[in-house]
Amino acid sequence: MAVRVEFGQPLWLLLMFSMPAKRASERVEIWRKLKRIGALALPSSGYLLPNTPANTEHFEWIATAIRKYKGQASVAQVHVLDDLPNEELESRFKAARTAEYQPLVSALTRTRLWAKKAGQLARIRKRFQEISAIDFFDSPLRSRVEGLLARADTRGTEVGEKRTHGRKRDYNGRTWITRPRPGIDRVSSAWLIRKFIDPQAQFAFAEQTTRHKDALPFDMFHGDGFGHRGDDCTFETLIKEFAIRDPRVSTIAEIVHDADLADEKYGRPEAAGLDRVLIGWAHQGTTDEELLRRGMEMIEGLYQSFT
């Protein structure tokens, strides 16, 4: 009678692959993808990740890409590697993330970094989010970076409040004007205005501001006001102008940027979907006011989902 041995869930995922020598550029592409998802390179030419559904999907997509490039790839679940104990593997994962966190610590401990352009902190925060997403075993430096970012946010907010304190009364109970048929940047900007800047804000729509001389323009092609500045969409401009430091807003800013500018700067997969929803509503003949209301509710739902 055969004896069946029961094992628990395998701890690791192992990707093994080979690619034709002439596929040098594709090999570099695969290596970058593996680095982005935090895979640990093994001396035996395999790559390792903790066994989770998300990591399984990552490896399977990479294996599919390898096969498309005429290579061979296999994804296996393994309990243990005979020459590398689990404790050693965890230590290697931690060491890899610690090495990636270290430049952030160095940047955040430089004198008066918090007083420099918000874009510098935004880039550091984005990089921190990328690293922490693949910090499977909690590197000791993770909490250090979190603390430094929190301190920078607090001090940066104090600076921003001093800059805008005398002006906040100018943005209370105002009418804000934007172009008709609002898209992702305008509905998210309207949501930001009402939630963080002017809770009593009213919104109007026009191609020109001549009929609404007292209104505050945003995302208008002509006239003063808040709009695209440099590489920023209107939503990002408002965040910087009013020193809004909510991390959830920063995440939404990445999504809005990618959807509005279509430059894939942040690689946010949610961007195209949100934009298509608004386009679909617009095709239904929805009024500008209803389109804005629905869009703002959608952004509020997105905001709450990040809690």
Q: How many CB atoms lie within 10 A of CB 175?
A: 13
Residue 5 lies in a domain: no
Contacts of 261 (CB under 8 A, 6+ apart): 233
Look at residue 209 in the predicted model and tell me its pLDDT: 75
Residue 7 lies in a domain: no
Q: Do 157 and 199 share a domain, yes or no? A: no
Q: Do 107 and 146 share a domain, yes or no? A: yes
Distances in Å between the alpha carbon of 291 and those of 82, 285, 288, 296?
Answer: 60, 9, 5, 9
| CATH code of the domain in which 50 resides | 3.30.70.240
Residue 140 lies in a domain: yes
State how many domains the chain has.
3
34 lies in which domain range? 12-78
Q: Do 190 and 120 share a domain, yes or no? A: no
- The whole-angstrom distance between residue 79's C-alpha and the CA centroid of its chain comes to 33
Q: Do 258 and 149 share a domain, yes or no? A: no
Q: Do 46 and 136 share a domain, yes or no? A: no
Reduced 3-state DSSP string for 128-145: HHHHHHCCCCCCHHHHHH
Q: Do 160 and 185 share a domain, yes or no? A: no
Look at residue 97 in the predicted model and tell me its pLDDT: 95
- Domain end call among 141, 165, 189: 165
Q: The tokens of 119 are what?
A: 């874009």
Long-range contacts of 219-223 (CB under 8 A, 24+ apart): 219/178, 219/179, 219/185, 219/186, 219/189, 220/177, 220/178, 220/179, 221/179
Residue 1 lies in a domain: no
Q: Do 177 and 269 share a domain, yes or no? A: yes
Look at residue 162 in the predicted model and tell me its pLDDT: 47
Residue 176 lies in a domain: yes
Which DSSP helix (H) or strand (E) runs through 229?
A: none
Q: Do 178 and 301 share a domain, yes or no? A: yes
Q: Do 182 and 261 share a domain, yes or no? A: yes
Q: How many CB atoms lie within 10 A of CB 268?
A: 19
Look at residue 92 in the predicted model and tell me its pLDDT: 95
Look at residue 252 in the predicted model and tell me its pLDDT: 94
Q: Do 249 and 138 share a domain, yes or no? A: no
- Domain end call among 127, 142, 165: 165
- Write out residues in the chain with pLDDT < 50, as ranges: 1-6, 111, 114-116, 156-163, 165-166
Look at residue 147 in the predicted model and tell me its pLDDT: 79
166-186: pLDDT as tens digits = 456 678 899 999 989 999 999
- DSSP secondary structure code for residue 15 in this structure: E
Residue 24 lies in a domain: yes
Residue 86 lies in a domain: no
- Domain end call among 100, 132, 165: 165
Would you call 14 exposed, middle or buried from its count of C-beta atoms within 10 A (0-12, 13-18, 19+)?
buried
Contacts of 8 (CB under 8 A, 6+ apart): 79
Look at residue 151 in the predicted model and tell me its pLDDT: 72
